[in-house]
A = this chain, B = another copy of it.
């Protein structure tokens, strides 16, 4: 219970206490003048942990990470249209991760809006495209009920970010009431007819695969996936997924390759592609003369259920329909020896595999250097892996911050490219303030390395000096240790495999945030 007298609630208090009543436990915030009464309401609400973020992209990325860990939406507090825009890229990413999130966007007092003051903008227009629900609480009497509606709407049918605008006069006026309690919507149950059709298709297929995402990537879902694998169905995940349980004791599905030509080669001969908890796969980008849809010729795609569905239940139902036996081709703990010599994506992957603590979360914004770590940690201690699903780099550090706030007793590992980490480097400061247990590994190659690869792939020609400069972070080289220490996060450089391995072991052994600048080759 909040200590606010509910009979004289302001609109801000009604909104905040209603979200708390529904289990919202964290608010990632960067307030401005129009949000002062929200700040006061949060001040009076002990059930919500308020975290200041020095840039809104940190707030929205952290809310995503918090929700991926808890399963419940977190709240953000954003300052008008400009605050939404600053947080917008990580809202896009959250939408692409099907993450429930409640973005509370302050707005001018309703009577002030018509005068077009400097910070006025069309927030409904700006925020609408990436919101699964959006409304403005223009009357104080509605603030509580709209907060409850926003919470419910964040669960879908397809879960995602919702936007609730709170005009300043609604926030400061008394007469607010707590919103009526809503029931938490569940994901859709599997459709029996589609399960039967899928089972029949499998029986007639020579080389079937099933592409999975969502709840299929929980331990329970993966146990069902293992049964399908034993029944002869290859199990694949999307290239990028919000969260997957991995490591010793768990079935490890294959993963779709990033580049279209690799994915298509890998799928050659596949004649049936079942889809559970996601969409028919498409290439991340188009390239001249290359396919968009990643389904080979002669292969039938069959969507059993999209992201609105409980895909773990789909797998269980399909396994039952096929009479699949319990099977356990689970990963066995297999920790590599301490790597030596040159520091690169592979030796870093070996160290991460060795030291990743049981029960930890990984936030992966590693771009071109993350894959070896992902592959090797399949046999590490049990952990959860969280990826950038929306392609807007700069999610890794904020996501790790939010995960650490949600699970203070677990360790979080963030792996990020240096280009990606610069986007939202302000997340380091919030990690320091909160004492977040995050180990940040920055792949320092002073390059948007992926773009150098892409420049060649798109056939855009050989780079001249200007193009090289547009893809390179050198001149000057960023000193990540200083950048991190400047924001209160202890940091070290690592230039060899030995140095990195020792630094990582030390960082995991200590509480609070750490940063390791891992100097890897640019090519």
Chain A residues with a Cβ under 8 A of chain B: 29, 31-34, 36-37, 39-40, 42-44, 50, 52, 54-55, 57, 81-83, 85-86, 88-89, 91-93, 96, 108-109, 111-112, 115-119, 121-122, 125-126, 128-130, 168-169, 172, 240, 279, 282-286, 288, 292-293, 389-392, 394, 419, 422-423, 425-426, 429, 432-433, 450-451, 454-455, 458-461, 463-467, 469-473, 475-483, 485-488
Contacts and interface: CB of A to CB of B under 8 A. Distances in A.
Contacts of A169: 286, 288
Contact of A112 (B54, B92, B292): B292
Contacts of A32: 451
Contact of A33 (B43, B116, B458): B458
Given A42-B466, A54-B419, 13 more contacts: A33-B450, A33-B454, A39-B460, A39-B463, A39-B471, A52-B470, A54-B473, A82-B88, A111-B286, A115-B292, A169-B286, A482-B486, A486-B486
Nearest to A238: B118
A466 B50 contact: yes
A455 B36 contact: yes
B478 A429 contact: yes
A33 to B, nearest CB: 4
Given A118-B284, A240-B118, A392-B119, A467 B92 contact: no
A251 to B, nearest CB: 25
A42 B168 contact: no
Contact of A458 (B37, B116, B426, B476): B37
A511 B50 CA distance: 43
Contact of A487 (B86, B168, B432, B483): B483
A82 B423 contact: no
Contacts of A419: 54
A91 B390 CA distance: 23
A126 B134 CA distance: 14
Contact of A464 (B44, B54, B89, B426): B44
Contacts of A91: 85
Contact of A118 (B121, B390, B476): B390
Contact of A467 (B39, B108, B392): B39
A4 to B, nearest CB: 11
A478 B487 contact: yes
A108 B285 contact: yes
